[in-house]
Amino acid sequence: MLEGTFLGYSNASNAYLVADADGKLSLEEMQALQELRRKKQETRQTESFLHLHVGIDASDLPADLESHHVAVKSWDDIRSEQNVVIVSIPSLLDPTLAPKGKHNIHAYLAGNESYDVWEGLKRGDQKYKDLKVERSQRLWEVLEQIIPDVRKRVETSSVGTPLTIDRFCRRDRGNYGPAIKGKQTFFPGPHHLQIEGLVHCGDSTNPGIGLPSAAASGMAAAHAIAPIWKQWQSLEDLARFRKEGRNPRYTTFEPGEVIKHIKPNLMQAFA
């Protein structure tokens, strides 16, 4: 990891840019970093999210209830406000995620909730609470298409707004990520500046926005720094340190489990 002078912060992707502290960067490399910062700041943001989390009574639900659903109001403009709704019922796949006889549901507007609607409101104010009820109706309507009596089954529910995402996820204006169009430009890779010691990862790099993509970019960055064999050794060391109580920072992380599940598959792939 490159540590050094803070150069800037990207509003579009929450990415930090740093410069080499020991002065090894050339003038051209410093200029390239500054140009990268400029481009990041100019990159258009996507819209934000509106989340609905619900816990329901699962009694007598259909046995063939699907775990994932996508509802699109209009295909004419897929990005239009409150158009695309995604619903996930993870406890259908893993019953341990909810109490016995219950289900948890996550419904959200996928990057098509405008921050402007919420800007200036204060969390906890009545106007803010009323707007949460009003704006979440689109999500409830989609849930009712899946489970018609869902509102009668509700035992707990909460709404997350663009302000929630801005505060807890530190996403500027609650944005989903940089709005990079595939036919016009591309998400850069970990070494796109070709500066030794500088590796990029996160949702502003390839393969793009979203948790799976951001995680994949981290894997790509790790592979750019060290081969998989050294990564395994590091994970095994962490597992040993955790077992021996030598590193309290990893008390909730079990790297040995990562190795156990991934290493055999990769070994077979490279065989």
Q: What is the DSSP annotation of the chain?
A: ---EEEEEE-TTT--EEEEETTS-S-HHHHHHHHHHHHHHHHSPBP-EEEEEEEEEE-TT--TT--SEEEEES-SS-TTSTT-EEEEE-GGGT-GGGS-TTEEEEEEEEEEEE-GGGTTT--TTSHHHHHHHHHHTHHHHHHHHHHSTTHHHHEEEEEEE-HHHHHHHS--GGG--SB---TTT-----TTTT--TT----STTSTT-SSHHHHHHHHHHHHHHHS-HHHHHHHHHHHHHHHHTT--GGGTT--HHHHHHHHHHHHHHHH-
pLDDT class of 250 with cuts at 50, 70, 90: low
Do 138 and 117 meet the contact criterion of CB atoms below 8 Å apart? no
Q: The whole model's pTM is what?
A: 0.71
Do 200 and 188 meet the contact criterion of CB atoms below 8 Å apart? yes
Do 8 and 41 meet the contact criterion of CB atoms below 8 Å apart? yes
Do 77 and 83 meet the contact criterion of CB atoms below 8 Å apart? yes
pLDDT class of 2 with cuts at 50, 70, 90: very low
Residue 238, strand partner residues: none
pLDDT class of 19 with cuts at 50, 70, 90: very low
What gap in Å lies between CA 228 and CA 226, rounded to an integer?
7
Distance from the Cα of residue 28 to its chain's centroid:
33
The mean pLDDT value for 175-192 works out to 74
Segment 23-76, tens digit of pLDDT? 566 777 777 777 777 777 777 788 899 999 999 999 999 999 999 999 999 999
Rounded to 5 degrees, what are φ and ψ at 27?
-60, -40
Q: How many Cβ atoms sit within 10 Å of the Cβ of residue 71?
A: 17
- Quote the pLDDT of residue 52: 97
- Quote the pLDDT of residue 17: 44
Tokens 């100019």 locate to 42
Segment 212-248, tens digit of pLDDT? 888 888 888 888 888 877 877 777 777 777 777 766 6
CA distance readout (Å), 6 to 15, 16, 121, 231: 11, 8, 32, 28
Q: How many Cβ atoms sit within 10 Å of the Cβ of residue 170?
A: 8
**Residue in 174, 197, 185 with CA at minimum distance from that of residue 1:** 197
pLDDT class of 260 with cuts at 50, 70, 90: low
The mean pLDDT value for 166-191 works out to 78
